[in-house]
Amino acid sequence: MNEVTNREVLMQSKRRRTFAIISHPDAGKTTLTEKLLLYAGAVSEAGAVKARGSRRRATSDWMAMEQERGISITSTALQFTYKDHVINLLDTPGHRDFSEDTYRVLSAADSAVMVLDTAKGIEAQTLKLFQVCRSRNMPIITFLNKFDRPGKEPIELLDEIEKEIGLIPAPLTWPVGIPGDFKGVVDRRDGNFIRYSRTARGATEAKEEILDPQRASIEEGKYFEQAMEECDLLNGTGANYDSDLFLSGIQTPVFVGSALTNFGVRMLLEAVIELSPSPSARPDYQEVPRPLASPFSGFVFKVQANMDPSHRDHIAFVRVCSGKFERGMNLVHQPSLKPFRTKYAASVFGSERDTIDEAYPGDVIGLVNASDLQIGDTLFEKDEVKYPPIASFAPELFAKVRAKDTGRYKQFKKVIVQLEREGTIQLLYDLKAEGDPIAAAVGEMQFEVLAHRMQAEFGAEIEMTRTPHKLARVTDIDTANLLAGVGGNKVMRRNDGTYLALFESPYWLQRIQGDHPDWKLDTIVAGTTQT
């Protein structure tokens, strides 16, 4: 790249914020997404993304199943601008349980916004996701949503964040008012009070007034006094924002508000711009960071076939890591080192697709008809680079999968392998027999998606029989032969060649480990193996 392009790439990278919203279903992710679009001027009235009640349907809810359930299973990226910044909001699947799919999307994000429903706090099923983000040191901004209605005390919520996720909360805003009479927030950074007024259905921006503490005290009286007392308590506990702690994933700045009434939404959007990191040099598989201004490179974090049932296509979503992407450019696919043409590049959100002509670090491009690309693959223009594989998690649920119509076995096999490549499930095969595979998953929803997609897209009905296994360990062929003699386990081979030993209970595993400490039985921790 020439110097001008170098400068352009650095300047464009600096403008970008690439983040994902993580939350439990119903905490308000869709509502908040829509309100962020409203405040960024990308929609003129809220209601465009999600219609109310029975018409409830988000732009990203394009799969029939998603519409039936009103949840978003697939993930894409939404790009909009705000105050000369380019925001890439990655849509994470709204699974009720932890899913690898969500994790893969997060691998393409530079930060996350965690939305909590103040009435519910941290809910058990999503705890794992939050903990995983925490353990990966991802910068997380917290938004305590639904302050317009009765909920837990904010202090109690901060306590939950600290105890359950291990993140130190640092509130930057604090609520003024009571449920049912939520007035606005105190900005702890300058002590000012931001008073909001609701608009009809929250369809347009809430009116905002900024009052200095003196005026706020006169006009809001006891509500403001109480908020100030609580802020004094927070000051006393040292719950103050520290940018380094946030960027290293130790502390989370906390904002309060109500996505429904638009209270606090602008402050959150500004926080994403002011506090969250812009893309930085991404480490390759040997942990050598690739400078942003190096020639184009990116990695595939999601693969999706048949997004549009009328066009059987195959889209690979690529997060740009370095350089400038220009449609039509010739790239190299790593690991095959084969050339890859990018004639069909698109930005995809929901069912809508726009051709994308250029992109910069932090952006997401959808490469259409890219059936050779797999999750974790790297694409580069020149100066070969290989990004590390995306972590896969230890499966905890297992089911034997069989085609109901044995006459269509060949098609069944083809389709299920395709879904495995998309990361819907992991497939395990018997070491000796060629028999039916076992589908392995981290969360229950993965099985439902598998059954639904086999049926809806390929007309292949399947039968799933759960096996009693509950945990898996990485092993090798020598240990596999030894394990065959002791029972209480089953060794299977994953498509990537890894041997997995499945156990029905931790008891069996512990016994075998106790009797044979030299056997290879490694814990699978987010893609790496630990002994």
Distance CA 134, CA 157 (A): 17
Complete edge-to-edge strand list for the sheet that includes strand 77-82: 77-82, 85-90, 16-23, 111-117, 140-145, 251-256, 168-171
Distance of closest approach, residue 60 Cβ to ligand G4P, in angstroms: 10
For tokens 């879904």, what's the residue? Answer: 419
Distance of closest approach, residue 193 Cβ to ligand G4P, in angstroms: 20
Which of 89, 109, 260, 438 is the binder for ligand G4P (CB under 6 A)?
260
Q: In this structure, what DSSP letter does residue 162 have?
A: I
> Residue 357: which of 329, 336, 376 has the closest Cα?
329
Distance of closest approach, residue 36 Cβ to ligand G4P, in angstroms: 12
> By C-beta, is 265 or 440 nearer to ligand G4P?
265
426 belongs to the binding site for ligand G4P (CB under 6 A): no
N- to C-terminal Cα separation, the chain: 44
Number of residues that bind ligand G4P (CB under 6 A): 19
| Chain mean position to CA 183 | 32
Q: Taking each helix axis from N to C terminus, what angle separates 124-135 and 100-107, rounded to the nearest 10 degrees?
A: 30
Return the residues of window 56-75 that contact ligand G4P according to CB under 6 A.
Answer: 56
Distance CA 449, CA 419 (A): 10
Which of 30, 142, 426, 475 is the binder for ligand G4P (CB under 6 A)?
30
Helical residues (DSSP H) of 357-461, grouped into ranges: 409-421, 444-458
201 belongs to the binding site for ligand G4P (CB under 6 A): no
Distance of closest approach, residue 255 Cβ to ligand G4P, in angstroms: 12
Task: Copy the structure tokens of residue 249.
Answer: 């994933």
27 belongs to the binding site for ligand G4P (CB under 6 A): yes
The contact mask relative to ligand G4P for 131-150 (x = CB under 6 A, - = no) is --------------xx-xx-
Distance of closest approach, residue 256 Cβ to ligand G4P, in angstroms: 10
State phi, psi for 211 to the nearest 5 degrees.
-115, 135
CA atoms within 13 A on the CB side of 418: 20
173 belongs to the binding site for ligand G4P (CB under 6 A): no
Distance of closest approach, residue 172 Cβ to ligand G4P, in angstroms: 18
Which of 2, 3, 4, 52 is the binder for ligand G4P (CB under 6 A)?
52
Per CB under 6 A, the segment of 95-103, 257-265, 430-438, 497-505 that binds ligand G4P is: 257-265
Per CB under 6 A, the segment of 96-104, 216-224, 255-263, 272-280 that binds ligand G4P is: 255-263
53 belongs to the binding site for ligand G4P (CB under 6 A): yes
Is residue 328 within 8 A of residue 359, CB to CB? The reply is no
Question: Which sign, positive or negative, has the C-alpha torsion 457, 461, 462, 463?
Answer: positive
Distance of closest approach, residue 350 Cβ to ligand G4P, in angstroms: 14
Chain positions contacting ligand G4P, by CB under 6 A: 23, 25-31, 52-53, 56, 94, 145-146, 148-149, 258-260
